[in-house]
Structure 1
């Protein structure tokens, strides 16, 4: 199995979700370790060993680019070898991996052990977390996360830019800390950009809903309520930027809104003498956005046009030109202003 499959299988084992067949695969790997090494025999000890190997694997392997096989030196005789079936790739684990983790590193519900991934390459790296959520880490970015998540929530820290695909679990919210901002999700996909040299943080949502807030905003407002209540909720095609110097959130639409409905439900954007209300309704449904305009003023406006190939903003530009109107994006809503027809 490849590196990603191995990480996913190991994560399932640590969470107690392995099937008998999957456990047999891990046992096969476990039993294949060098017979000269004294190995723990109990399930608890084995789980601790796997947890330690999980830490090193996630810290050192993401892509499956083949690497040269390393010749054993004398001090490698007591090393464990984890085979990643991706071409002829090998991942060598030092003998220290086989030692039981210290108390401070043991997997438990009361104390977490964290690892850190820094993408030093020039291409995005894929990181699989213990709950099988996937983080695509951009070059120069850093992610800090626990080897196994706590029982009540999942927390990671990001410096830089990453795209998150979070496994749904309503009982364990997923929180991303980036500078002064907290992004809370239950299961969704979204992008966060929090550069170390820039105090501004941008969160953009592709699917699902996320809550974005900053404890500093609550402090500034002298609010005793939950900081989340003075944050913003984002839906697909929406984004928010936290202005670090001004301590405020600015909500808008993403740079390139995508079509949110299945292709079979996608309505044609070719209109023949169609009322404005029909066109605006099609835009709202297709992109999941709110379009605000004076329906009474534009009640007598009809449009003939074809907009099947244009993106959202090009559609709006053409429509407004035909109406003699203008549009602005305000608080993630499209506001159209015009004098009517």
Structure 2
């Protein structure tokens, strides 16, 4: 029996296999008006295809907890009831295929107010709908980016509340897993790293202060998220900086705190907070960071990053380096990757009756 296709139980939730879909922004929502941030037919078709393909858990892309928390105007949101109603259709279909629906809750911070990648990305201008960006400190992400407004303590508390409200709405929509986006240089990750956090108050300086905001968000979500349903946290395990950045040692230390605060799994990625860094990209290049967290803290982890073939994924789980693998671009290329991997490895996976001829 393939370990990749064994169930994974977190709290009272059992995920049918360990092939999971990483959150990947589609930049395909309406840009403004009453349908801003609302999932549409593109999102339905996109996620439905991966569920039909046998994926055990789908984490819906970074979904903003407020309009100003979007990466781009075309991002999904979960700050109003119209968005919730549209999500219900997607969630119901994923569930009907045996796939567990999850959602990543996010605030982009100083990396907000940018264009779609295929239109050039980068910061929006005043004539293209730019809005004020927010951050722990008034330090821009890179050259050409605006200087963000440094958040006051009162504003921080309001954002913590926005995360909690978003979690309530996600639960109402039927999601079974919530993930806090603390990676890739977005707002929570900006607080964690001394590279982007230059504050001198209770939210900056020491490690304990820099992780304070993240833990407050986790606590607020855990208060409204059911005790029997898991909460994930996505982390960038390193900024890939030689000095004055977030490190793998910090990640292990923080993971132990997250575990104490009710996080059930760490989704381990890297980078995104510092521009222009050199990252040694290669097959499974981020797996060692996940493996170290699991070995040193006992917190379950999911590994992500250039995991592309079934034997590679099987080995990661079988060796105890991770409890599950998260596929990104590979699932964009092949929505039925899980079904093909099950055939290769001798595992069992859900196949809709309409597709039995493909087995």
Say yes or no: TM over 0.5: no
Query: With structure 2 as the length reference, what TM-score do the two structures score?
Result: 0.29
Normalized per residue, which structure has more strand?
1
User: Which has the higher Rg, Structure 1 or Structure 2?
Assistant: 1
